[in-house]
Amino acid sequence: MDLRSHIRALPKAELHLHLEGAIDPELMMRLAVRNNVDIPFRSADEIRAACRFTRLQDFLDLYHQGMTVLRAEEDYFELTAAYLERVAADGAVHVEVFFDPQGHTARGIPFATAADGILAALADGRERLGITSLLIMNVWRDLSEDDGFAAFRHAEPYVADRRIAGLGLDSTEIDHPPAKFERLYAAAREAGLRLVAHAGEEGPASYVAEAVDRLAVDRIDHGNRALDDPALVRRLAERGMTLTVCPLSNLRLGVVPDLQRHPLKRMLDAGLKATVNSDDPAYFGGYLLDNFVAVTEALELEWADLVTLARNSIEGSFLDDSARTAHLERIDRVVAADG
């Protein structure tokens, strides 16, 4: 079996995926026309040509513009359904997806329009594709904590019955340390949400430590820069903290100079529970399986590493114990059959 098919056959979860980052150029063009939204591109190729970034902010500018094509509940449904089809074909059995409610409510789109469209597609994906899923709302760290609280209030009915399972933190990292959101995270924890935060993508190792110590996160999104602090690495390893690492995103945003120097293997060797994810696949040139294949080739990962990555993704998920065990047993069966 070739490498790609081999990795595809390994059951795995995607834990770091921004739905607004999964609007493929063709879908963006189609929705722009359907909703009469002005975007500065005349073709999908022009959008692809614009996907040249030197740092996080370059990408965020395009990402913010791209999400304006989403207006109706069916747009959110279509986007989510297309992503699920794609990631299921990559061998994902579970996904935990982010959305950015402030990117929609600020344009006058009700929170419920976005959330209901996404949730309907996730339910459809469970039925049609057998893929389990959870929804996490992210708040933009370059906005105020009060703005984050307003988003959290919009989410209240969805939090109450766990249609929204978690809270995360994304957007411009530098100058917006996790501690800025300490009160919001305390409230979310009180409400029973699971907690994640982007940290150590462009920001320093101290932001990773702050997310752990001040926000009490259950997972770190990215976490690359944690490697600058060996004492922190030991602490993360001892706690079994999951890192949702995004190789092609890191390459495209200049977080790593090339994939050969990507820290994923060093993370695994240091005992960190790293996982592989696509982040914003429509913008970074690859979905989940593309990320696995690219980093496997660049770092010469072995089958044992790939099995560890797949296991980490299930173990680091927010599934309940019985669902988690069922997915882990699927991995065991594939590994056993593989010899």
Q: Which residues are catalytic?
A: 201
- Residues 8, 11, 12, 21: which binds ligand HPA (CB under 6 A)? 21
Compute the distance between CA of residue 335 and CA of residue 326 in angstroms, rounded to an integer. 14
The residue whose Cβ lies closest to ligand HPA is 170
Q: Is 173 in the site for Zn ion (CB under 5 A)?
A: no
Task: Tell me the per-residue interface mask from 263 to 302 with Zn ion, x by CB under 5 A, - otherwise.
Answer: ----------------x-----------------------
Compute the distance between CA of residue 181 and CA of residue 165 in angstroms, rounded to an integer. 18
Compute the distance between CA of residue 131 and CA of residue 217 in angstroms, rounded to an integer. 25
- Residues 12, 18, 71, 327: which binds ligand HPA (CB under 6 A)? 18
Task: Find the shortest distance in angstroms from Cβ 208 to ligand HPA.
Answer: 14
- Which residue's entry shows tokens 């770190």? 220
Q: Is 14 in the site for Zn ion (CB under 5 A)?
A: no
CB 95 within 8 A of CB 22: no
What residue 78 binds from Zn ion, ligand HPA, none (CB within 5 to 8 A, per partner kind)?
A: none
Task: Tell me the per-residue interface mask from 224 to 263 with Zn ion, x by CB under 5 A, - otherwise.
Answer: ----------------------------------------
The token duo for 5 is 């098919």
What residue 316 binds from ligand HPA, Zn ion, none (CB within 5 to 8 A, per partner kind)?
A: none
Task: Tell me the per-residue interface mask from 39 to 78 with ligand HPA, x by CB under 6 A, - otherwise.
Answer: -----------------x------x---------------
CA atoms within 13 A of residue 257's CA, in its CB half-sphere: 1
Q: Is 280 in the site for ligand HPA (CB under 6 A)?
A: yes
Q: Is 198 in the site for ligand HPA (CB under 6 A)?
A: yes
What residue 56 binds from Zn ion, ligand HPA, none (CB within 5 to 8 A, per partner kind)?
A: ligand HPA
DSSP at 216: -
Task: Find the shortest distance in angstroms from Cβ 128 to Zn ion.
Answer: 27
Largest CA distance in the chain: 55
Which 214-273 positions form the footprint of ligand HPA (CB under 6 A)? 249
CB 70 within 8 A of CB 20: yes
Give 262-280 as a DSSP string: -THHHHHHTT-EEEE--BS
Give 151-213 as a DSSP string: HHHHTHHHHHTTSS-EEEEES--TT--GGGGHHHHHHHHHTT-EEEEEESSSS-HHHHHHHHH
Task: Find the shortest distance in angstroms from Cβ 85 to ligand HPA.
Answer: 21
Residue among 219, 207, 200, 218 at smallest CA distance from 181: 207
Binding site for Zn ion (CB under 5 A): 279
Binding site for ligand HPA (CB under 6 A): 18, 21, 56, 63, 170-171, 198, 201, 249, 279-280
